[in-house]
Structure 1
């Protein structure tokens, strides 16, 4: 019990903060104007931390990649597996939301002007605005996060090409990454207070109907995510190794799943994932590359929640989520959220900042998507963490390697 409380302490504190904020919004409405600035301070600190955190996390990760031909083949296959399966998760989530729409409460304020601007921009203008800026100083704005992500990738690649001369700069990037991760940890300790303050404001503005609104997207996520977990992972296991690999995957995926659920940490699940991959027969040359990288770059749970959060934000603002351009952007953002923000503590919040930047989402929709992201974390962690194992099976299949299941180990496990 103490272990569960410790591992879920951040979520528990967040729920306590939200509960207190809700009660204040309901029963002490006159206090809300004095409380809301606490939420604004929290969001501003988060916005300030986003840019340097992204730069150090991305550039240091890219600069550290090394490899020979075989590793290059594994990395190429891994990248394709990650991109294709995350895209599948995003598209299936869109179809699920289309079939089972989640309605939302709208305050009807502040969205019309932004929506008109978004509609008036041509597709070419959007591409230019999203991926580039006219001056370096503009990269430092949270309104241009996508362009900054691309710049950070280019810095990482340039460090690799510079060889030994860039070693001091690489050490700087690695150290900066560690410093900024610790800074984000400090900022996120204010989350219960900041989001609680914003929740008090929302409850005061929107009333008790707000609770019914949150119940619907959360119910969708847990039902859809559970079905996805069992059905899609079984399909991927079958593609990787045929009929026999499906029960073999689930037999050895029990421990990683329980570890992810009990610790709410993908990193804590990494050792059991490596052991599960070995028992399934994934070659160590594949498992030792795909699973550690997948721990930070491959997030099925985050992909599903990313689409859901964009949908919820659009619903709050009464925008059309199912417009084709919006859907294409949503899938692109989901890929970035999964493969860029995954290695950052509270990386989901970084993804939220990205979608806010790309869609120019007004501030009133921000707390809703942040709270949903926090509350889906247990199942999201299970999907994120255990997906690494089945991804390693797919990489084995398509990189030309073979699953080699130790026969004696299988007999031993079957008799246990």
Structure 2
């Protein structure tokens, strides 16, 4: 990685008029969306295609971004053991903090008791919609998930948009190019040149982010209504506070130990966070997150391996939600869970959170998969939180995004693949030139 000139790093960011800044545009769009959905629910609900269209646009470009980033990163490695080492370290990190998130959700649920006093009879709950998620959870076994990583053809991941399949093919192709050596150099150069227009396409698509955020937020408020959260507000509040404390305390300690500030990281990726808040989809921010982490000093090969893998295996927000929601249902139905039952719930959640990883609506599907194996908690109880799940999905996605950004920097540091000067400049808000590996 090329050293940065100190004067170049301290160069103030290029000034834009306030209304030209993307995150300001997204904030304004979210605000207008909330107001429209609240005062004119029918019109707000009809804005759904705007949010769906933007997410489809971003998903369209995700596979090429991952493929090019991983292939060019790995092809530039001189030692193939590095690929396995980076992946191994990333998985150790993911397993550790995903499990910690599950434990924290369990502890908070026991302390806060968000479901206490509701006195719900499980047999009175509407479970038709819940059964749809139960069916999906049965289709999402660990073996099935692992088999699904292998694509039908070598090019199908680029058209199907499956993140892990794209990563699988990109790693194989990148390793193949690296093993061929100098003969593959013209092809590697082609992919490196190809990266420039693809990332330029990402920046063009991001200009539509305010429209997408407006449509998604107007639909959410118009369809579900602010008042629909009712007496479940305590559960939502508990979840948001728990996720916030996890980010600031747990990830904050990890960041400090590794030489950066979690607050600085949040400020650096604020555009991506606002995009996730508006669309409830962490995938909407994946391309620009990868570009920003590379620009902030993480080696391209590490970014390409850790970020896409983390999107399936490092779901801190989803894991906090799973144990918190499961105990909420038990408390609401006046079901006493022993320590043994709760430990069983924790163990099943650890497995099911991996089995349904990468599936649309993974938070609710993994919860269904967990409850179907733990008979003490009625799966019908999921109907209690089905209506407010949309309001918690934003927090899940935000926490997942911050967790993956933090994980990438930490793994890059472990691999000595982190430009610390560039990282500190990014955390301080300085303008950064294009990064080169």
How far apart, in 1, do the equivalents of 2:56 and 2:302 lie? 31
Q: Any conservation in 2 of the 1:267–1:295 contact (CA below 8 Å)?
A: yes
> CA distance change for structure 1 residues 87 and 381 in 2, over 3 Å: closer, same or farther?
closer
Is structure 2 residue 392 aligned with structure 1 residue 387? no
Counterpart of 1:169 (choices 150, 163, 187) is 187
Whole-Å Cα distance in 2 between the matches of residues 368 and 262 of structure 1? 23
The CA distance in 1 between the partners of 2:324 and 2:218, in whole Å, is 20
Asked if the contact 2:302–2:411 (Cα under 8 Å) also holds between the matched residues in 1, the reply is: yes
Separation of aligned partners in 2, 1:94 and 1:140: 33
Give 1:47's match in structure 2, choosing from 59, 71, 79: 59
Q: How does 1:5-404 map to 2 (within 5 A)?
A: 9-67=21-79, 79-101=87-109, 112-119=131-138, 123-128=142-147, 130-136=148-154, 138-142=156-160, 144-209=162-227, 212=233, 215-229=237-251, 231-232=253-254, 253=259, 260=265, 262-264=267-269, 266=293, 270=297, 306-309=315-318, 327-328=350-351, 330=353, 354-356=358-360, 371-372=394-395, 383=406, 387=410, 391=414
With a CA cutoff of 8 Å and minimum separation of 6, indicate the structure with the bigger relative contact order.
2
- Structure number having the greater helix percentage: 1
**Structure 1 contact 302–380 (Cα < 8 Å) conserved:** no
Structure 1: distance between partners of 2:210 and 2:322: 21
- Do the aligned partners of residues 186 and 221 (structure 1) sit closer, same or farther apart at CA in structure 2, a change above 3 Å counting? farther
Find the counterpart in structure 1 of residue 426 from structure 2: none
State the SS of the aligned residue for 2:152.
Answer: coil
Q: Is the 8 A contact 1:302 1:384 kept in 2?
A: no
TM-score after normalising by structure 1: 0.60
1:185, distance to aligned residue in structure 2 (A): 2.4
Q: How many residues align?
A: 332
By how many angstroms is 1:147 displaced?
Answer: 2.4
Q: What RMSD, in angstroms, separates the aligned Cα atoms of the two structures?
A: 5.1
Given the superposition, is the C-alpha separation of residues 107 and 316 from structure 1 closer, same or farther in structure 2, using an over 3 Å criterion? Answer: farther
Shift of 1:154: 0.8
Point out where structure 1 has 5 or more consecutive residues left out of the alignment: 238-248, 271-289, 335-353, 396-416
Q: What displacement does 1:145 show?
A: 3.3
Residue equivalent to 2:287: none
- TM-score scaled by structure 2? 0.58
Q: Residues 260 and 381 of structure 1 are in contact (CA less than 8 Å); yes or no, is this contact kept in structure 2?
A: no
Q: Distance in 1 between matches of 2:362 and 2:398?
A: 24
Residues 198 and 367, structure 1, Cα contact 8 Å, conserved in 2: no
Whole-angstrom CA distance in 2 between matches of 1:95 and 1:61: 35
Structure 2 residue ranges without an equivalent (≥5): 1-11, 116-124, 270-291, 331-343, 367-386, 419-437
Q: CA deviation at 1:127?
A: 2.9
Alpha-carbon distance in 2 for matches of 1:9, 1:303: 31
State the shift of 1:150 in Å: 0.8
Partners of 2:263 and 2:127 in 1: how far apart? 43
